[in-house]
Structure 1
Amino acid sequence: MEHLSLKRKITIMIAIMAAMFFAAINQTIGSTAMPRIIAILDGMNLYTWTINIYLLTSTIATVLVGKLSDIYGRKPFLLAGILFFMVGAFLTGTSSDVYQFITYRGIQGIGAGIIMATSFTAIGDLFPPRERGKWTGLMTAVFGFSSVIGPTLGGYMIDNMDWHWVFWIFLPLGVVAFFMIIFLFPKVDRKKSESIDYLGSIFLTTSLVPLLLAFSWAGSEYKWVSPQILGLLAASIISAIIFIFVEKHAKSPVLPLSLFKNRIVTVSNIIGFLMNFGMMGALIYLSFFVQGVLEISPTYAGYVTMPMSIFMMITAAITGQKISKSGKYKRFAMLGVPIMIAGMAIMVFMTNVTMAVISMIIFGIGLGLGMPVFSLATQNAVSHKEIGVATASSQLFRNLGGTIGIAVMGSVMATSLKSNITDKMQSAAAHGVDMTKMDPNIAKQLAAFANPQTLMNKPLITETMAKLPADIQPLFTKMLDMIRDALSSTLSTVFLTGTLVLFLALALVFFLKEIPLRTSNSVPAAAADGEQAKAEGTDVGTKQVFASDSMN
C-alpha cells in the first residue's frame, strides 16, 4: 500500500480510527457502569465473568486473525470485527439475566479482538516503521480519548438513564465506521501460495482457552490447587506441546515459532505481558477504591480516572511524533515505565481523591510514553510479510498479561480482604459491635456488605439502611466504615503487587535491543551483510534478512 498517495492514506487512517474509536468507546463506557448493571441483573457472583469472557474471546480472535489477515488482507477482517461488535453490543443491551449478558459480551469480545489487531496492523501496511510512530501514537490517543469520555458518560448514563443505552448509544457510529471501511479501505488480493493452518489454529485455541479459564476461576470459583484448576492447566500444557509439534511441520503456521527466535520480539512481548499484568490487575481494582472506599458515585468516579486518559492521550501523540522524527524508541520506554511505577506507587499510599487524581496523572504520562514503543519495536524487527502475525503476538501477550494479572490480583485481594475484615470484626467486637449477638437474619443481611462489590452498590446500601431497625442503623454505619477501612488496606496490597510487577518490566527494558526504524516496508534482498541489514532494521542476532515483499 506504499504506492498510495498521502491524501488517500490519511483518508484510510480516518476510517481505521473511526472503527477503533467505536470499539474503544463501547468498552470504556461500560467500565464505571458495569458493577451497577450486574447488580441489577442479580449476578454479582459472576461479576468477574463479564470481564473475563470479553478478554477470553478477544484474545482468541486477535491471535487467529493475525495470520489470516496476512493472507487475505485487513479489510474483510475489519468489516467482520465491526459487525461482530455491533451485534454483540445490541444483544448485550437486550440481556434479561447475567448469563445472556456474559454470552453477548463474548460476541463483543470477538469483534473487539479483530478490530484491535487489524487496526494496528493496517498502520504497518500503509506506512514504513519510521512513519508508524506518529500514527501509532495517534491511535493510542484515540483510545485515550475514548477513555476520557467513556467512563464519565457511562457513569452519568447508569445514574440517569436505563442501563441498556450504555450499549446502544454508539451503534450508529459503528454503521458509519463500517461503510467508511467499505468505501475507503483498499482491497488486497489473497496470497495464493499461503495455506491456512487449521490444525495449528485448533490447538492454539485449546491451549489458550483452558489457560485463561484457569486463571479466571482460580482463587474465586475454585482454589488454586483444586482438581478443576490443575486439570485446566494440564490440558493447556498438553495442547501447547501438540501445538508446538504441529507448528514445526506446518507449511504456513498460524503463529510461527521462528518469530520468538527474534530477541526484540520476545523481549517486547514479555514486557507487554508484564505491563498489562501490573496495569490491568491494579486499574481494574481502582474503581473499588474510588466507589467502595471513598463512596464516590459512578458518575464522579469517571472524573477521578479521567486525568490518566487525558495525559496518556497527549503524551502518546507527542511520543509518536518524537519517535518518527528521531527513529529511536528505547529511550521513551526507559522513561515511561519508571513513571508508571511512580504513579502506581502513589496508589499504594493514597487515602483521598487528590492522591488518586495525582497517581492517575503520573500513571497516564508513563503509559503515553511507553505504550507505543513495544508494538512498534516488534513490527520493525520482522519482515513485512509477518507484520500481521507479529502484531497479533503482541496483542496476545498483552491480553494474557491482563487476564492473568486480574486473576492474581483478585486472589491477592480476596486473601488479604478476608484477613483484614476478620481483624476489623474482632476489633469491633471488642468495642461492643458483635454481629454474633444480633438477630441472625439481620446479621446475614449485614454480612453481605463484606463483599466489596456489594459495598459499591450505593442504592442497595440506602435501601438496606432504610429497612433496618433504628437501633441497628448506627451499628450498620460503623460496620460499613470498618469494611471500607479493611478494603483500603487490602487495595494497598493489590497496588503494591502491581508496582513490583512493573519493576520486572523495567528490568527487561534494559535488554530491549534498539535497531533503527526502517524507512521502507520493502527491504532489498541484497542487504545481507551485517551493517547494511542493521541499517535497514534487521535484528542481526536472529540472522534475518528481509526479502522484498511489497503489499502492492
Structure 2
Amino acid sequence: MSQPKTAGPVPEDKTAEEEQPRSPREIRLVMVGLVVTMLLAMLDNLIVGTAMPTIVGDLGGAEHLSWVVTAYTLATAASTPIWGKLGDLYGRKGTFLTSIVIFLVGSALSGLSQNMNELIGFRAVQGLGAGGLMVGVMSIMGALVPPRDRGKYQGMFAAVMALATIGGPLVGGFITDHLSWHWTFYINLPLGVIALAVVIATLKLPKVRNTARIDYPGAVLLTVGITSLVLITTWGGQQYAWGSKEILGLAALAVASLIGFCYVEQRAQEPMLPLSLFRNLNFTLVSIIGFIVGFVMFGSTVFLPLYQQIVQGASATNSGLLLMPMMFGMLVVSLVVGQAVTKTGKYRIFPIIGTVVMTGGLILLSTMGVGTSSFTSACWMIVLGAGMGFLMQITMLVAQNSVELKDMGVASSTATLFRTIGGSFGVALFGALFNNRVKDTMGQLLAGKPLPPGGAKDPGQTSPAELRKMPDYIQDAYHHAVSNGMHTVFLWGAGVAVIAIAAAVFLREVPLRGTGKGEKPAEASLEAAAV
C-alpha cells in the first residue's frame, strides 16, 4: 500500500538546489560571505560584554543589566529551529538574507538606544536575526558542499571561532575606550553589508515553491519550551533559588510545552522538527555529543578566566587572550581532522578520540590549585581545546549526513540548538557547583577571623584590584576557594563528558555523501544509520 504524499518544498526546476554541482571557485566566493556572517554571529556578545559597564553608566538601569544578555540569548535560542525549518520550506538563500537584515536592523536600533528598556527590546530583535545566522551558514554549507568534501572548509570556521573569542574583547575594549559604546553595535553594519553583498552576488540557488502549511502550533510550543529552559538556567541560583516557585513553575511549563510539542509534531503535515529524525541512531548520538560539547565549552570559557585572574594574577584587560591556548588546540586539531575526513571519508574514530581527550583535559584542569603555573594550566587548556577540535565540526557533519537533503536546515538548527542549550545548562550547573564550593571553603578558612567591610564577597563578583587591597589571609582564602571551586567544576564536567564517550562509541561509520569513489547512494547511507 503506497503512502500518501505530503506537500513540501519543490524547486521550480527539476533539480534540487543541493544536487547541482558547484565549481571550487563558486564555493570559495560564497564562503567569503558565510565566514563574514559567522564572524558577525560570534563577535557580537563578546564585544558588547566588554562595553556593558560603560553602557550601564550611560543609560542607567543597572537592575536590568542581565536582561540585555538574556533578551538576546532567548531570542536566538527560540528562533534557531524556526529559521532552519523556514530555510527547508522556502529556500535557504532568502531566509538567510532575511536573518542578516533583521540582525543589522537590531544592531542599528541597539546603537541608537536612549534607555535600558529600549536596548533590551532592540537586543531581542538582534537576537531574532542572530538565530538564523549560524543556521544559515551551516545549512548553506551543507547544501553546497558534500559531507565528504566539507573538511576542506571547516578549518575556516574554526579559525573564525578562535578569532572571535580572542579578538572580541579586544575590539570591544578598544571601541569603548576610543569611540563610544554605540559603535559596539554599529560595527556590525559594515560587516553585515559585506556579507549581504557577497551572498546576493555569489550564491545561486533555484527558487522554491511550497504548498505546505507552517507548523504554527509546533513553533509556539517549541519556543515556549526553549524559552523556559533558558530562563531556568539563567535565573536559577542567581535571581531565584533553585527550589523557588518561579523556577519550579518554569520547569513545569517547559515539561508541559515540550510534551505538547511532541504530540503536535506527530500529527503535523510539515512538522517544525520532525521527530522521525531521532530514529536515526547517528543523529541522536551526535545531538547528545553536541549538547555535552556546548556544556563543556561554555562552562570552561566562563570559569577559566576567573581562575586565571583571581588565582594566577592575569590581567583582565585582554581577557580573550587568556583562552588562546584552548582556541589554539581547537583550531589546529580541527584543521587536521577536516583534511583527514576529506582524504579518507572516515570519521567515526574522531568523535571517540575527541571525547576521550576532552574528558582527559577536564580531569587535568581539575588538578589546578593555588600553585599551578600559567604554563601548566595553558598546557591543560590545549588538551581540552584539542578534544573539542575533534568534535566541533564533526558533530555538525554527521548530523547533516544523517538526514535527507531536504531536511538540511532542520538538521543544522537542531545541532546548533542542542549545543546552545548544552551551553546554558553548563554555565548554570557549573555556576551552582562553583558557588557552593566557594562558600563552603570561605566559611572554613575564615571562621573566627575578621571579614572585610560588607563581608567576604563572592569571588566571581570581586575584581583582582579589589582583592589586592584586602589582607593577605583573605586573599589566600579567596585563592583556595576559587581553586577548590574549579576542581569541583571540572571534575563534574569530566563525569558528564563520559556520557559523550559512550555516545561516540555507538556511532556508526556511514559513508559520507560526496565525491569519494565507490560510495553508497544517499538513501543507502541513511538506511545504514537508522535504528
Class of the TM-score when normalised by the shorter of the 2 chains: 0.7 to 0.9
The separation in 1 between residues aligned to 2:189 and 2:344, in whole angstroms, is 40
Residues 59 and 346 of structure 1: is their aligned pair in 2 closer, same or farther, counting only changes over 3 Å? same
Write the distance in 1 (CA, Å) between the matches of 2:505 and 2:270.
33
| Preserved contact between residue 66 and residue 392 of structure 1 (Cα < 8 Å) | yes
> What is the CA-CA distance between 1:102 and the residue it aligns to?
4.2
Paired residues in the alignment total: 509
Contact 1:93 1:164 in 2 (8 A): yes
What does residue range 78-477 of structure 1 map to in structure 2 within 5 Å?
Answer: 78-94=96-112, 100-155=118-173, 157=175, 162-350=180-368, 351-426=372-447, 429=449, 433-434=450-451, 443-444=453-454, 447=455, 450-456=457-463, 458=465, 461=466, 475=471
* CA shift for structure 1 position 38: 6.1
* Structure 1 residues 160 and 541: CA distance shift in structure 2, 3 A: closer
C-alpha displacement at 1:298, in angstroms? 2.6
Find the aligned partners of 2:497 and 2:202 in 1 and give their Cα distance.
40
- State whether residues 159 and 299 of structure 1, in contact with CA within 8 Å, keep that contact through their aligned partners in structure 2: no
Amino acid paired to 1:227: K
Q: Secondary structure at the match of 2:317?
A: helix
CA contact (8 A) 2:328 2:385 kept: yes
Of residues 201-210 and 153-162 in structure 1, the stretch that sits farther from structure 2 once superposed is: 153-162
Change (3 A) 1:333 1:41: farther
**Structure 2 CA distance for aligned equivalents of residues 279 and 196 of structure 1:** 34
Specify every segment of 5 or more residues in structure 2 that has no aligned partner in the other structure, as ranges. Answer: 1-16
| Distance of 2:473 and 2:362 partners within structure 1 | 30
2:525 maps to which of 529, 537, 549: 537
Q: Specify the alignment match of 1:501 in structure 2.
A: 496
Cα offset, 1:123, TM superposition: 1.0
| Shift, 1:200, TM fit | 1.2
Q: CA deviation at 1:269?
A: 0.2
Query: What is the distance in 2 between the residues matched to 1:109 and 1:58?
Result: 5
Q: Any idea what SS the aligned residue of 1:414 has? A: helix
Structure 1 position 541, deviation (Å): 5.3
Structure 1: runs of 5 or more not aligned? 436-442, 466-472, 522-530, 544-552
Partner Cα distance (2:431, 2:152) in 1: 36
| Compared CA separation, residues 340 and 143, structure 1 to 2 (3 A) | same
| TM-score normalized with structure 2 length | 0.87
Whole-Å separation in 2 of the counterparts to 1:453 and 1:38: 19
2:509 aligned partner: 514
Question: What's the secondary structure of 1:538's corresponding residue?
Answer: helix
2: CA distance, partners of 1:474 / 1:261: 58
Equivalent residue number for residue 61 of structure 1: 79
Aligned pair in 2 of structure 1 residues 160, 494: CA closer, same or farther (>3 Å)?
Answer: farther
Q: Which amino acid aligns with 1:68?
A: L
Which stretch shifts more, 218-227 or 325-334?
218-227
Q: What is the RMSD computed on CA atoms of the aligned residues?
A: 3.0
CA contact (8 A) 2:72 2:123 kept: yes
Could you list the per-position Cα deviations for residues 139-182 of structure 1 after superposition, in whole angstroms to 9, with x for gaps in the alignment? 23322232232234335555666444444334321221122222
Task: Tell me the distance in 2 between the aligned counterparts of 1:5 and 1:13.
Answer: 12
> Which AA in structure 1 matches 2:146?
P
- Structure 2 equivalent of residue 482 of structure 1: 477
Q: Distance in 2 between matches of 1:39 and 1:496?
A: 38
The one-character-per-residue Cα deviations of 1:471-523 (angstroms, maximum 9, x if unpaired) are xx664x643443343223222212222222112211211011121111279xx
Kindly tell me: are residues 144 and 181 of structure 1, through their superposed partners in 2, closer, same or farther at Cα, counting changes over 3 Å? same
Distance 1:505 1:187 in 2: 37
CA distance in structure 1 between the aligned counterparts of 2:65 and 2:284, rounded to whole angstroms: 33
SS at match of 1:494: helix
Q: Matches of 1:287 and 1:101 in 2, distance apart? A: 27
Encode CA deviations 1:397-432: one digit per residue, 9 max, x unaligned.
1111111111111111222222222223216x1xxx
Tell whether the 8 Å contact from 1:345 to 1:499 is kept in structure 2 after alignment. Answer: yes
TM-fit CA distance, 1:390: 1.2
Residue range with higher mean Cα deviation, 102-111 or 324-333: 102-111
CA-to-aligned-CA distance 1:232-280 (integer Å, 9 cap, x gap): 1111111122212211111111100111111111111011111211221
Closer/same/farther in 2, CA of residues 47 and 338 from structure 1, 3 Å limit = farther
Task: Name the residue aligned to 1:439.
Answer: none
